[in-house]
Structure 1
Amino acid sequence: MPIASFPRIIRSFRQTYGFRHLDLAYHAAFPFAVTSELLYCLRENFLPNCLWIAVPEVLLFPWFDSVGDDLYEMDPEVRAVLLRELGQDSRFGEVRLQELAGFMTAYVTAKLPNNPRATRDLGRDFDWLALACLRPDEASARLRQRLRYVVAQGRDEERQRWIELAQDQEDVLRELGLEPALLELQTSMADSGMDGMLGISATVEPFSPYDGFPPLEPFEFRQGYFEPVTASNEVDLEPFAFETVQLKKVESEVVTQSSQGQGWQFLESLFSAEMALTLEMVQIPRGTFLMGAAEGEEQADDDEYPQHPVTVAEFFLGKYPVTQAQWRAVATGLPKIEHDLDPDPSRFKGETRPVEQVRWDEAREFCRRLSQATGRDYRLPSEAQWEYACRAGTTTAFSFGNIITTDVANYDGNYTYGQSPKGEYRKQTTPVGSFPANGFGLYDMHGNVREWCLDVWHENYQGAPSDGRPWLDEEATDNKRLLRGGSWYDYPWNCRCAYLLRFTPVYHYNYIGFRVCCSVARTL
């Protein structure tokens, strides 16, 4: 099911916390009810790479109702959608549902060691629920067949078990498509004097606790969870695969360890009469990291200290630096807001090479034109967003380790960093994406072109924001702006994750470019 067709509350959760948290919500939907301990166990056993903070964020989101004693029940409609997605997701599917059924049976056994009947009954319920998620028609047929059998055999106790299950899970079972089986259970309940308990064919008005009060009136209100206010609802995320590497020195050789990764992105169509162009915007998940250079990091400068924790909300960042073709499409195809844009400013020509010789205010003009055309909040990234995205969960000098080679980045290979070997000096930009991605699926975060950020330069990080927003203190020294990432022209140590360069915003050189950031705007 595409994300746009999810219930609004699921879309809101995904846009607030990201797909990794949503994976945990899929799993949280499988038990009939959850506790915080159970959800921690599900995370530990099935999603160990999901941050621990996801547990309270899933439990406290308004799709769960607290029913006391640390016990939470999920809204039936939401639960049914999440269960269907769990069964249809190629990463999980039937195997994961069967694993969850086995896990929940083992969990109940551990919690109720002296009640083998409860273990047996709940184990059967979990197996049956897994089947209902995958093949509801088959599950419905099996339930009806089993019910007819136990009625014919006079097994009243077992019939009562199925009736209790249907009573407890009626709403979610109906959402999963098992209404034919529920209707048959209704008939069976009528035969046993329990008619009306499922609410499918009942005709008697129930007693209302509000009898004697004035008539109830409807009223409107805004729900208390975050909801996008831009055109973000129209974004259709899609997965993409990438290769990333880690570099290690073994004796005198640099060993490259490759691995495959998967990220999520949306494609922003650009406005070119010459060709079909898109910006590939990669989802960067919410998280906390240590910003700045580690104590004792080689070639670190004073303005990279003190290292400090920063929590960054989810955002989207360009998979590549803006290319010359993308720049020209916006410069010629979208109306001016404040500054004219030269359609062809770059020294090193090539449609897929990064645009360079771009001033800070010209990069902002590009973003503002894009925002006006799309209704989304495009801008330059903050310095914290840039470094968080560059590190992609790592703590080393570079996202691929503490050494760097010209096989993984475009910089001046006549110089070395730490135990890194010398390499090639290309003396020009390279087409974007020529080297492996980092752990978020972003390319050219080290080298090729330096990239503008929004922030004003400061002498150090004393008093810096801890929430990822740009540091725009106008009292900062000479109001210079920041460049990140290093370039083809730079020494290797200038390509470190923590390296920053102050630069006059009106200058432009053939090693300066940028990439765009898109924030997820929300309101209560």
Structure 2
Amino acid sequence: MWAEEMVAGRPAWRHVASGVVFREVPGGTFRMGLSEAELEAVRAIERAGGVEDTIESFLAGAGDAQPVREVRVEPFLIARHPLTVAQVRHWLPDYEDDYADADSTVARLEDDLDDLLEALPFRLPSEAEWEYAARAGTTTLTFRGDGKPGEVDLLDDFADEQRTAATENAFGLAAIGSASEVCADAWIPGFAGAPADARPRPGDSPRTVRGGAADLYPWQGCDEWLLLLSAVRYEHTQFTAVRPVANR
């Protein structure tokens, strides 16, 4: 089922049947959520003239990713990047994607999402697992630091291996924050009462989504870069990408 190999100079595990490449994320603890230091970093970008439109709505919604708390995460495997159209078709041969024009492009699922999740031999990441993997040991706005991320950080098509490798974080994960990636947790505003481990929070509401900056490309100057931030979260409403998780 699995083949261990080197991908972009790092160990990886390929799911042989589908070709999906997974990275192993080590266990550990981290501070999950949007910290006051990160909020100050966003305000600093605004003061420096780096905000095109307004960040008022972002700041008003900061409580949805607070309070910051320490979370314990067990080791897990997560896909190097969101599933592509070709990879989704391994499980859903009749899958069609109105948003992608190449097999190597991220699949954005709407009505097919539940069918894919039922067919996958994997699971969705919890929010804690996703953010832990995205941060890759950092405490800054993105894994690159507190500077304003730009369109160079976006990646939607993984045909170019050199370009894909250039977007990897310290855990070897590519395109973090680019696509709207669905998590296992139900949408619950804020982290009050959330568990101290990486279990997903259940509920009847739509799932939580992370990332999504590339889904708004070409950027129209509405501060879409905020969707690249590690702590940003919102309620699932439309098409989403899937970055599956497996336990070793």
Q: How far is the alpha carbon of 1:480 from its aligned partner?
A: 2.1
One-letter code aligned to 1:306: P
One-letter code aligned to 1:398: T
One-letter code aligned to 1:319: R
1:336-394 deviations in Å (ceiling 9; x for gaps): xxxxxx511232310111011x13x73343243232xxxxxx11111111000000111
1:165-200 deviations in Å (ceiling 9; x for gaps): xxxxxxxxxxxxxxxxxxxxxxxxxxxxxxxxxxxx
One-letter code aligned to 2:206: K
Match of 2:189 among 459, 471, 474: 459
Q: How far is the alpha carbon of 1:236 from its aligned partner?
A: 4.5
Partner in structure 2 of residue 141 of structure 1: none
Distance 1:453 1:431 in 2: 21
Partner in structure 1 of residue 134 of structure 2: 390
2:89 matches 1:331: no
Q: Is the 8 A contact 1:350 1:431 kept in 2?
A: no
Q: Is the 8 A contact 2:95 2:112 kept in 1?
A: no
User: Helix, strand or coil for the counterpart of 2:15?
Assistant: strand
Distance 1:480 1:453 in 2: 10
One-letter code aligned to 1:446: G
Q: Is the 8 A contact 1:409 1:435 kept in 2?
A: no
Partner in structure 2 of residue 503 of structure 1: 236
Partner in structure 2 of residue 279 of structure 1: 20
1:398-451 deviations in Å (ceiling 9; x for gaps): 0111121222225xxxxxxxxxxxxxxxxxx4446274201100001122x211
Q: Is the 8 A contact 2:182 2:236 kept in 1?
A: no
Match of 1:365 among 115, 140, 149: 115
Distance 2:190 2:140 in 1: 20
1:127-161 deviations in Å (ceiling 9; x for gaps): xxxxxxxxxxxxxxxxxxxxxxxxxxxxxxxxxxx
Distance 2:165 2:98 in 1: 19
Q: Which runs of 5+ in 2 are unaligned?
A: 43-57
Partner in structure 1 of residue 200 of structure 2: 470
Partner in structure 2 of residue 10 of structure 1: none
Partner in structure 1 of residue 206 of structure 2: 480
Q: How far is the alpha carbon of 1:241 from its aligned partner?
A: 3.6
Distance 1:435 1:409 in 2: 11
Q: How far is the alpha carbon of 1:513 from its aligned partner?
A: 1.4
One-letter code aligned to 2:113: A
Distance 2:165 2:242 in 1: 17
Higher helix share: 1
User: Helix, strand or coil for the counterpart of 1:493?
Assistant: helix
Aligned residues, how many?
Answer: 216
User: Helix, strand or coil for the counterpart of 2:36?
Assistant: coil
User: Helix, strand or coil for the counterpart of 1:452?
Assistant: strand
Match of 2:242 among 514, 519, 524: 514
User: Helix, strand or coil for the counterpart of 1:325?
Assistant: helix
Partner in structure 2 of residue 406 of structure 1: 151
Match of 2:13 among 251, 266, 283: 266
Distance 2:212 2:145 in 1: 16
2:23 matches 1:237: no
2:71 matches 1:343: no
User: Helix, strand or coil for the counterpart of 1:278?
Assistant: coil
Q: How far is the alpha carbon of 1:457 from its aligned partner?
A: 1.0
Q: Is the 8 A contact 1:397 1:496 kept in 2?
A: yes
Compute the TM-score of the two structures, normalised by the length of structure 2.
Answer: 0.79
One-letter code aligned to 2:168: A
Q: How far is the alpha carbon of 1:485 from its aligned partner?
A: 1.4
Q: How far is the alpha carbon of 1:486 from its aligned partner?
A: 2.1
Distance 1:517 1:363 in 2: 16
Match of 2:171 among 417, 425, 440: 440
One-letter code aligned to 1:237: E
Distance 2:203 2:135 in 1: 25
Distance 2:74 2:92 in 1: 30
Aligned-residue RMSD, C-alpha: 2.1
Match of 2:124 among 380, 392, 398: 380
Partner in structure 2 of residue 293 of structure 1: 34
One-letter code aligned to 1:266: W
Partner in structure 1 of residue 227 of structure 2: 494
User: Helix, strand or coil for the counterpart of 1:328?
Assistant: helix
2:77 matches 1:316: yes
Distance 1:391 1:279 in 2: 22
Partner in structure 1 of residue 54 of structure 2: none
One-letter code aligned to 1:370: L
Q: Is the 8 A contact 1:484 1:501 kept in 2?
A: yes
Q: Is the 8 A contact 1:380 1:516 kept in 2?
A: yes
Distance 1:482 1:265 in 2: 27
If you compute each CA radius of gyration, which structure gives the higher value, 1 or 2? 1
Q: Which runs of 5+ in 1 are unaligned?
A: 1-233, 243-261, 271-276, 333-341, 372-377, 411-428
Q: Name which structure has the greater RCO, CA cutoff 8 Å, separation 6+.
A: 2
How does 1:164-243 map onto structure 2 within 5 Å?
235-242=2-9
Q: How far is the alpha carbon of 1:493 from its aligned partner?
A: 0.9
One-letter code aligned to 1:348: A
Between the aligned residues of both structures, percent identity stands at 28
Compute the TM-score of the two structures, normalised by the length of structure 1.
Answer: 0.39
